[in-house]
Amino acid sequence: MIPLPEPERLHPRDLVTTGLEGLRGRPLRAVLSALGIAIGVASMVGLVGISTISMAGLLEEIRQLGTNMLTVGPGTTLLGKDADLPPGAEGMVSRIPGVTGVTAVGLVPDATARRTDRIPSSTTSGVAVQAARTDLLEALGGTVRSGAFLNAATSRYPAVVLGSVAAARLGVDRAGAHIHIAGQWFLVVGVLDTVKLAPEIDRSALIGWHHATRLGFDGHATTLYERSTNETVEAVREKLSFTVNPEHPEEVKVSRPSDALTAEVATTSAFNALFFGLGAVALLAGGVGIANIMVISVLERRQEIGLRRSLGATRGQIRLQFLTESVTLSTLGGVVGVGVGLVVCLGFAGYRGWPLALPTQAIAGGVLAAVAIGAVAGLYPARRAARLTPTEALATA
């Protein structure tokens, strides 16, 4: 018997060329098939990237604002009534070892801030009038959007600084305007940016401590803002309530504003798994689409399969041809999806002014998942094509 010749090995370059023939022959179908994978990868990279950038931005804000500020406010009595901070609380807190600074605000009772004197006094727009120390803004790490903060001179006269929310509600966007407080006209000397560590300041109209006494303010602080060293902040926190009110420490409420930002970072991190899962679902849908297209491709290309088999192509070569086509299709979709996702991340980071923290795990995971899904999606169509005999393929063409 004459021995049969060994089948020629298909060079990898020829394998890729053969695998891409099907894509070049049906470009619209290839684009639509890869689009499902691209959407899945783009959603995965984009959503995880936005979450990662948000987390990096929050961590940067925490680093800049610091975690060494504590807020002291009145709690409730045993009877459920609102408590008051004792007089002289600022001085007592300043004597705690490790405290580097104390400032305060005090609510001015029965004082309302209105844009004009024509607006009824009952319409407050949710803006609180508070007396403020001149070092308040420095302690909070806040910034002035327009004008300047209260100083030793302006705090003695009818001058007011508006928080960002208060300014928006009163229709004031810059310093120089006048508003009506407790029957007097006040000059707006400053408008603040958002104060991350003290959102209550955003909704306040801040007037000088000295001038507030003319409006019925009794001089008692309602909220203290304390700064300490990073090493002593926890020790100071344990002593604050007992120092402020030794007789009833349970009536003093102590909090650390940065804890809210830290909790937001933890929440953002927890959403990463959810976003990754949503992208995986979209990827799976794209893989099903590729599998469907590849099955149709096998049915349409039976004549080609039969001709190649009759010319000596082995089952393995036919299998690799369709598998290469499927993997290439999904890989191209994955690469496009990563590019779209990165553009979304870049735009979001630029819009928010946050550092660009690339989601490396999502990028690598998206591409690898696209390749894996392409291989799995093309496995059945490739095996189906390889099982066709030359006569069967040519007979049903």
pLDDT tens digits, 48-59:
788 788 777 777
Strand partners, 268: none
294 and 318 Cβ atoms separated by less than 8 Å: no
Structure tokens belonging to residue 289: 């689409």
Q: What is the pLDDT of residue 50?
A: 81
d(CA 183, CA 46): 53
Instruction: Dump strand ranges (E) for the chain.
Output: 69-74, 99-114, 128-132, 144-147, 159-162, 178-181, 184-192, 204-208, 223-228, 252-255
d(CA 195, CA 207): 17
Residue 287 has which token pair? 């893989």
pLDDT of residue 145: 94
Q: What's the pLDDT at 319?
A: 74
Would you state the structure tokens that stand for residue 327, as one six-digit string?
């993997």
Long-range contacts of 392-395 (CB under 8 A, 24+ apart): 392/306, 393/302, 393/303, 393/305, 393/306, 393/307, 393/309, 394/302, 394/303, 394/306, 394/307, 394/310, 395/306
Express each pLDDT in 91-149 by its tens digit.
888 888 888 889 999 999 888 999 988 888 777 788 999 999 999 998 888 899 999 99
Give pLDDT, residue 261.
63
**pLDDT in the model for residue 4:** 47
Amino acid at 207: I
3-class SS of residue 396: coil
Rounded Cα distance between 241 and 218, Å, is 22
Rounded CA-CA distance 227/232 in Å is 10
C-alpha dihedral, 286 to 292 to 294 to 295, nearest 10°: 160
CA distance 293 to 200: 58
Residues in the chain where the model's pLDDT stays below 70:
1-26, 29, 62, 64-66, 79-80, 258, 260-276, 279, 282-283, 296-313, 380-382, 384-386, 388-397
Radius of gyration of the chain (CA): 34
Strand locations in 148-183 (E)? 159-162, 178-181
Distance, in Å, from the CA atom of 19 to the CA atom of 30, rounded to the nearest integer, reads 12
Q: What pLDDT was estimated at residue 212?
A: 93
The DSSP annotation for 42-77 comes to: HHHHHHHHHHHHHHHHHHHHHHHH-S-EEEEEE-B-
- Total residues belonging to the chain: 397
Look at residues 186, 183, 90, 99 and name the one whose alpha carbon lies nearest to residue 147: 186
Residues 6+ apart with CB under 8 A from 277: none
